[in-house]
Chain A
Amino acid sequence: MTAQTHPQITRDLRMAARQGLLPARGSGWLGGFENMFRKELGEWFRTRRWWGRILIWPALINGIPAIFRATGQIPPEIPDILYYFQIAVIAGTIGMIILAQDEVIQEKQSGTAAWILSKPAARRSFILSKLLSDAIGALAFIVVLPGLIILVQTYLTTHQMAPLLPFLAGAGVVMLALLFYLSLVILLGVLFESRGPLLAIAFGVMIGGMFAAASFPQIGYVLPMSMDKISLMVALGQPLPTADVSQLISTAVLSILFTLVALWRFQHKEF
């Protein structure tokens, strides 16, 4: 730092504030939300990783069925769309857990959370900005972009357009599965101080739940263990069994519950 004179600080700084700058919008429980949300959304869309995501997710979700079809492993009568839902739910869930694991823990460990919360930022805004931006990022890169591509793929292979509304409803089920794991990971990030327990529990719910559901089908009434199948059935316009309807409702309720608990716990967290 130089020891030169800085004339700009000799004038009345508050007068300068009054002249050109207005107080930020958003107070109370949403204080700082707009700023944090813009920053978090920028992590998805305004960094160089944007290009990586544009390539990786379609390569994974659209590329695998395309490769199988090119190598003759998919019979011609089965459209690619059937694989979209399965891969989007499984790969999307794994991706969601990995992408969101650092959202809260990293900020707690590095000290940036304490820095932000020393500004007029509400704690609820901190959590909600991450949740909402990640949901939008996942929707764009994991659901919408590969979904548009798969519609084109399906048309090119079958020369028929998939029914749009059922397809969108199926994509909504994929998104619900991703929201469940996103809210779970955010909650675990609030509760724990390291990634180990977070990853163990999140993947434990995903993988362990699938194994457990084979022996205890009741689990399928509560946890999103067959969202790939449900999303496909919805996209094909097939009626859902009671267990699957229960699973959809329970997944939505649990996602909200995880979010509320995360908000409550973070509100009482000490830094």
Chain B
Amino acid sequence: MNTSNSLVIETNNLSKAFRGVQALTGLNLMVQQHSIFGFLGPNGAGKTTTIKLLLGLSRPTAGSGQIFGYDIQRESTSIRRRIGYLAQDPRYYEHMTARETLRFTAHFFFTGSRAGIEERIQETLRLVGLEDKADRPIKSFSGGERQRLGIAQAQVNYPDLLILDEPAASLDPQGRHDVLEVMERLRKHTTVFYSTHILSDVQRVSDTVAILDHGKLISQAPIEELLNSNSKPIYTLGLKGETEKARQRIASLPWVVAVQTKPVNNHISWEVTVSDDGIAEAQLLKQVQLGDEVTVLEFGRMKVDLEDIFLTLTEGGQNGKH
């Protein structure tokens, strides 16, 4: 096993085709230890295919991958011993209770004292808030309860890596909040690799993201880097008065790239794109107020969120439409 770096997942041109259709092309992923790694992409981008390849449930048609330094094809059992997995649409034996399901799962990993295993099951039930429903058959569980059970069974073995496929997709806002909170708490102990298309969740908890589109990796970076690197800073201003004269003055500044104006109610709104954020932060407002022709009603830096980046990188959200 390779211990020379802290990479938990590493893939090298990982590819998968189904009956001639290329589902994944040349994927090169690098997931650092103890990161919460958001794996983004529109539906059908290849996220679940990638996860199944990592788990050994499917075989690559080209390329390779390692988890903890183990080969995903030849040493899959060794990998699965150290990971927890939550499927996109998790299914269990409906007649079993949550406790029985966790006991069955735990016995794939542990032997030892019965009391020790039962204690671990109880801890896991407590973690996801299913203690009071532990002895009910799963067939009576709601979607949210099934998802909680899914998280519980995925981490009953103290995994070094949690792989979660769309963990919050089927949950209501409170359920999503709770799942994200559990993920954040688990970061201390484990690496979390999760796929999603809920971008606000990613921005909230992830430290690194990869964006997949049409089976190809189009970006992979720490989230702050991604947010900062994919667009020029934009400042927004709300103005009253003789704005055209001021606009010409601002547009002529060397560090201003563009000034877009539009009327908003009884004032004019500007979006000023700049090439140097430092200068703009210090100078822009002063420059606008230099003449007395305008009154500044609002001033701020436009926040670029992950959704803007995602839509830009995935060709304006045109996935599958061209």
Report the Cα distance A31→B250, complex, angstroms: 70
In contact, A1 and B158 (Cβ under 8 angstroms): no
Report the Cα distance A39→B92, complex, angstroms: 13
Known: A8-B123, A23-B110. A1 touches B58 (CB 8 A): no
Report the Cα distance A120→B106, complex, angstroms: 11
Chain A residues lying within 8 Å of B87, measured Cβ to Cβ, are: 111, 114-115, 118
Tell yes or no: A12 within 8 A of B by CB.
yes
Tell yes or no: B181 within 8 A of A by CB.
yes
In contact, B80 and A120 (Cβ under 8 angstroms): yes
Report the Cα distance A32→B105, complex, angstroms: 10
Known: A1-B175, A118-B80, A271-B52. A22 touches B110 (CB 8 A): yes
Tell yes or no: B241 within 8 A of A by CB.
no
In contact, B111 and A270 (Cβ under 8 angstroms): no
Known: A6-B126, A20-B119, A118-B55. A112 touches B108 (CB 8 A): no
- The interface bits of chain A over 23-43 (1 if a CB of B lies within 8 angstroms of the residue's CB, else 0) are 111011001101100110000
From the candidates A12, A21, A111, A120, name the one contacting B81 in the complex (CB within 8 A). Answer: A120
The distance from the CB of A50 to the nearest CB of chain B, in whole angstroms, is 14
From the candidates B59, B108, B119, B128, name the one contacting A32 in the complex (CB within 8 A). Answer: B108
Tell yes or no: A14 within 8 A of B by CB.
yes
Report the Cα distance A3→B105, complex, angstroms: 25
From the candidates A21, A27, A114, name the one contacting B110 in the complex (CB within 8 A). Answer: A21
- The interface bits of chain B over 230-242 (1 if a CB of A lies within 8 angstroms of the residue's CB, else 0) are 0000000000000
Tell yes or no: B117 within 8 A of A by CB.
yes
The distance from the CB of A19 to the nearest CB of chain B, in whole angstroms, is 8
Chain A residues lying within 8 Å of B92, measured Cβ to Cβ, are: 112, 115
The distance from the CB of A89 to the nearest CB of chain B, in whole angstroms, is 31
Known: A1-B128, A8-B127, A115-B92. A31 touches B58 (CB 8 A): no
In contact, B189 and A14 (Cβ under 8 angstroms): yes
Chain B residues lying within 8 Å of A115, measured Cβ to Cβ, are: 87, 90-92
In contact, A112 and B109 (Cβ under 8 angstroms): no
In contact, B93 and A112 (Cβ under 8 angstroms): yes
Chain A residues lying within 8 Å of B105, measured Cβ to Cβ, are: 119
Report the Cα distance A115→B92, complex, angstroms: 8
Chain A residues lying within 8 Å of B58, measured Cβ to Cβ, are: 270-271
The distance from the CB of B20 to the nearest CB of chain A, in whole angstroms, is 15
In contact, B158 and A120 (Cβ under 8 angstroms): no
A interface residues, how many (CB within 8 angstroms) = 40
Chain B residues lying within 8 Å of A112, measured Cβ to Cβ, are: 91-93
The distance from the CB of A192 to the nearest CB of chain B, in whole angstroms, is 18
Interface residues of B in 12-62 (CB under 8 A from A): 52, 55-59
Report the Cα distance A139→B113, complex, angstroms: 32
Tell yes or no: A200 within 8 A of B by CB.
no
Interface residues of B in 108-130 (CB under 8 A from A): 108-113, 115-117, 119-120, 123, 126-129
Q: List 22 A-B contacts (CB under 8 A).
A: A1-B129, A2-B129, A3-B177, A3-B178, A3-B181, A21-B111, A21-B112, A21-B113, A22-B112, A24-B107, A31-B77, A35-B107, A38-B107, A39-B104, A111-B89, A111-B90, A114-B87, A115-B92, A118-B85, A270-B52, A270-B58, A271-B57
Residues of chain A having any CB pair with chain B under 8 Å:
1-3, 6, 8-10, 12-14, 16-17, 20-25, 27-28, 31-32, 34-35, 38-39, 47, 110-112, 114-115, 117-122, 270-271
Residues of chain B having any CB pair with chain A under 8 Å:
52, 55-59, 77-78, 80-81, 85, 87, 89-93, 95, 104-105, 107-113, 115-117, 119-120, 123, 126-129, 144, 148, 157-158, 175, 177-179, 181-182, 185-186, 188-189
Task: Other than A21-B111, A23-B109, give 7 A-B pairs with Cβ distance below 8 A.
Answer: A6-B127, A13-B158, A23-B81, A39-B104, A115-B92, A120-B108, A270-B52
